[in-house]
């Protein structure tokens, strides 16, 4: 089965760092994706982890611990345009399963 | 690279009519495309997996006779919502996986189609 847990909402200040956590229980797990979705738009790909550890990509980093069923997305130097929903999506077999997302609000 | 388009972006139709939504991979070939539905403030729910040249695989609870999927080429999949009803109003999003980058398995999403059934 699939079970994904991430906070519903977070608020952070422009220029700060924020960490969005995700825990999952996924049958046949073989990788985890993070997507960004602005209201009324389709998700855009941010990162992919298949091995344990940290993947860094500019202002965004993602961490995975397979044994703990845990991942986080780290956003640095927050900008107002980063206000969006962030979706944790573990893959089981051939399919992605999406959490309900974390709505991030960046304030001045 | 890895651009996926959807058409139309927005459609309003009367109850009982059928609506076709197209999903195209513009700069890559996709043996596999996925169709999702998203209701307001909810997560994306996978409806079906579309494989080029074969029948789609539907998720539990999704009626295959109501949501017809055709994946006739490596760059085009269509979803037809037949006899649409107001409860079918939703945001429909397709994604495609790059055939030549199967190892990465990244899905690239189209911009979505907002369907409103009156």
Residues 48 to 107 of A: which have CB under 8 A from any B CB? Answer: 48, 87, 91, 94-101
When pLDDT is cut at 50, 70 and 90, the band that residue A54 belongs to is: very high
Contact A41 B110 (CB under 8 A): no
For the stretch B18-71, pLDDT in tens is 999 999 999 888 888 999 999 888 889 999 999 888 889 999 999 999 999 998
**Cβ–Cβ below 8 Å for A43 and B91:** no
Give pLDDT, residue A39.
87
C-alpha distance from B27 to closest chain A C-alpha (Å): 17
Is residue A57 pLDDT above 90, yes or no? Answer: no
Contact by Cβ (8 Å): B32, B105: no
A64-72 LR contacts (CB < 8 Å, sep 24+): A64/A32, A66/A29, A68/A23, A69/A23, A69/A24, A69/A25, A69/A26, A69/A29, A70/A21, A70/A22, A70/A23, A70/A24, A71/A21, A71/A22, A71/A23, A71/A24, A71/A32, A71/A34, A72/A19, A72/A20, A72/A21, A72/A22
CB–CB contacts below 8 A, A to B: 46
- The B76-81 sheet, strands edge to edge: B4-7, B19-25, B76-81, B67-73
pLDDT value of residue B104: 59
As a whole-number percent, the residues of chain B with pLDDT over 90 amount to 68
pLDDT beyond 80 at A32:
yes
**pLDDT > 90: percent of chain A:** 80
- HEC string of chain A equals CEEEECCCEEEEECCCCEEEEEEEEECCEEEEEEEEECCCCCCEEEEEECCCEEEEECCEEEEEECCCCEEEEEECCCCHHHCEEEEEEEEECCEECCCCCEEEEEEC
Answer whether B113 touches A (CB < 8 Å).
no
Q: Which residues contact B108 (CB under 8 A, 6 or more apart)?
A: A45, B2, B3, B4, B25, B95, B96, B97, B98
Kindly determine whether residue B105 and residue A45, on different chains, have CB atoms separated by under 8 Å: no
Q: What is the mean pLDDT of chain A?
A: 93
What does the pLDDT read at residue A65? 97
| Residue contact A41–B108, C-beta within 8 A | no
Helix, coil or strand: residue B111: coil
Contacts of A43 in chain B (CB under 8 A): 44, 93, 109
């Amino acid at each position: 089965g699939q079970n994904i847990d991430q906070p519903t909402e977070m608020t952070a200040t422009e220029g700060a760092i924020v960490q969005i956590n995700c825990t999952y229980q996924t049958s046949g797990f073989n990788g985890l994706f993070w997507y960004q979705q602005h209201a009324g738009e389709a998700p855009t790909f941010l990162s992919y982890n298949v091995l344990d550890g940290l993947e860094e990509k500019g202002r965004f980093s993602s961490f995975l611990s397979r044994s703990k069923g845990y991942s986080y997305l780290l956003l640095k130097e927050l900008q107002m345009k980063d206000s969006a929903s962030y979706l944790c999506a573990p893959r089981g077999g051939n399919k992605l399963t999406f959490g309900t997302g974390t709505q991030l609000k960046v304030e001045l | 690279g890895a651009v996926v388009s959807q058409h139309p972006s927005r459609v309003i139709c009367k109850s009982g009519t059928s609506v076709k939504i197209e999903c195209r991979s513009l700069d890559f070939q996709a043996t596999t495309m996925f169709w999702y539905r998203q209701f307001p403030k909810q997560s994306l729910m996978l409806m079906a997996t579309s494989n080029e040249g074969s029948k789609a695989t539907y998720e539990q609870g999704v009626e295959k006779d109501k949501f017809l999927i055709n994946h006739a080429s490596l760059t085009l999949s269509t979803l037809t919502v037949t006899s649409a009803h107001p409860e079918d109003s939703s945001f429909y999003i397709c994604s495609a996986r790059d055939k030549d980058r199967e190892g990465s398995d990244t899905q690239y999403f189209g911009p979505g189609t907002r369907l409103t059934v009156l």
